Amino acid sequence: MKQVTFEALSGASEIGANAYLIAAGGRRILLDAGAREPGKAKTPPAPEWVQKIEAPDACWISHAHWDHLGGLSALKARFPRLPCFCAPSTRQLAKVALKRGRARDAALATQLNTIVSREYFDPLRFSMPTASSGADSGERVKFRAMSFPAGHIAGAELLLLEVDQGGARPFRILYTGDFCGHDQVLRSGALFPRGSADFPIDIMLMEGVLATQKAQDAVDYAAQMAGLCEVVGRAAGRPALVGVARLGCGAEVVAGLLDAGVAHLVHEALEEITRIAFKAAGRAEDLSRLRFVGERGCARALLAGEAVVAPGEQFGRGTPAGRLLQGVVEKPEATVILLNRAYPKSVAGKLLKASKASKVPQFRLGKQEVRAQIAHFLLPNHAPRRQLIDAVLAVNPARLLLVHGHRSQLFSLKRAIEKAGFSGQIDVPENGERLRLL
């Protein structure tokens, strides 16, 4: 039997850069290559884990969010021949994700330019390369991989990794990356392999971003999307601005409005991602029905009483939605739509607070008074607590590793999973911790 180990390089007990290492027979498979968001305080040009890691034999990228692939540039700079695998849509979206925005730091800007000038991804194979397990034994260890849809965003995939054990059955590890179990407009919910006596799954490595947000369990995605479309539809002839996450719910909102027959324009910064997402969903023919326009065109459309979808879920002043907001926030006839979590200190948070105020004086954003109508909807693309528990019970692994969440929240999720009847071992590893799996 080959020894199999797990090491949390980053992202284990935090909602941050994800990088996990599976080792067997002297060979290493890296699961994700994440980094912290660029431009934030104390964000190094390259993740620390990249400088410490020994050369992996292969890397799997679960999806095209920065906290799962932002360290790829530094990783490939150290190991230029490292084969990296992902789903086809992730391959396309990664190029968008890695070049987004203008970095404030000149060194980081140079790094980002280097990233997008290279080709990093090999086509997804269902058998990873066979590699020698070491000179001592002369044996060879095989890794086989199969991916499954994970919901979340276009291209997001679960990875089932099999470690060959010679004459014995393979040792199976399921890595979820980020996932959601409910259907969105373009993306269906995650499809999990089911563990059984004939097909046992030994390890499940699962995210826990929404581990303690119990309120998300009550969210009806379809009802929330219908409510958003109804509000925008009722605002016909008056300005309506929807701020979306570019690599999150953006394409889903565009598809939802399109399916509901609600007229709207889409900011050109969403075009490339929207096209990838629609094609991944088999809806390329619907792209001809969309209108992508530049920011000036969006501003004119709002003045003319049309609806606009623009990137900038928190309505930050440096985002298209934040800039467009300045032209409508003081108009009582205008509607501004907030999506998902509005952070208290963000512009979206202040708008949400303004929407709940019933007394004068009016809330202000800088020198502007908030007079527009504010609506708020929840369109989660992570698995809420109930779905996390159900996923574990469905897969029924012998052992569960919880990562990608604050440590206290993951322990809370651990107790909830045990209470639901799961009898396997549950670990909540810390960054830098190494666990023997077999």
- Give residue-wise pLDDT tens across range 155-194: 999 999 999 888 889 999 999 999 999 999 999 999 999 9
pLDDT tens digits, 321-369:
999 999 999 999 999 999 999 999 999 999 998 888 755 456 677 778 8
Structure confidence at residue 122 (pLDDT) = 61
419 and 333 co-located in one domain = no
User: So what's the pLDDT on residue 140?
Assistant: 57
Tell me, yes or no, whether 203 and 235 share the same domain.
no
Q: Do residue 44 and residue 105 come from a single domain?
A: yes
Pair 92, 129 in one domain: yes
pLDDT (tens digit, 9 = 90+) per residue, 48-82?
899 999 999 999 999 999 999 999 888 988 998 89
- pLDDT tops 90 at residue 380: yes
Same domain, 398 and 360: no
Out of 30-39, 67-76, 404-413, give the one with best mean pLDDT.
404-413
Q: What is the CATH number of the domain that holds 106?
A: 3.60.15.10
Chosen domain end from 333, 361, 377: 377
Give the residue from 377, 392, 416 where a domain finishes. Answer: 377
Q: Average pLDDT for residues 375-381, to the nearest whole number?
A: 96
First to last CA, the chain: 8
If asked whether residues 71 and 96 sit together in one domain, one would say yes
Q: Report CA Rg, the chain.
A: 23
274 and 370 fall within a common domain:
yes
State whether 47 and 183 are in the same domain.
yes
361 plus 397 within the same structural domain: no
Q: Which residue has the higher pLDDT, 202 or 91?
A: 202
Q: Which domain holds residue 397?
A: 4-213+381-436
* DSSP code string of 378-424: ----S-BHHHHHHHHHHH--SEEEEESS-HHHHHHHHHHHHHTT--S
Q: Do 77 and 226 belong to one domain?
A: no
pLDDT of 153 > 60? The answer is yes
Q: How confident is the model at residue 43 (pLDDT cuts 50, 70, 90)?
A: low
| Residues 36 and 163 both lie in one domain | yes
Considering the domain architecture, whether residues 159 and 294 belong to the same structural domain is answered as: no
Q: Quote the pLDDT of residue 255.
A: 98
CATH number of the CATH domain containing 304 = 3.40.50.10890
**Domain count across the chain:** 2
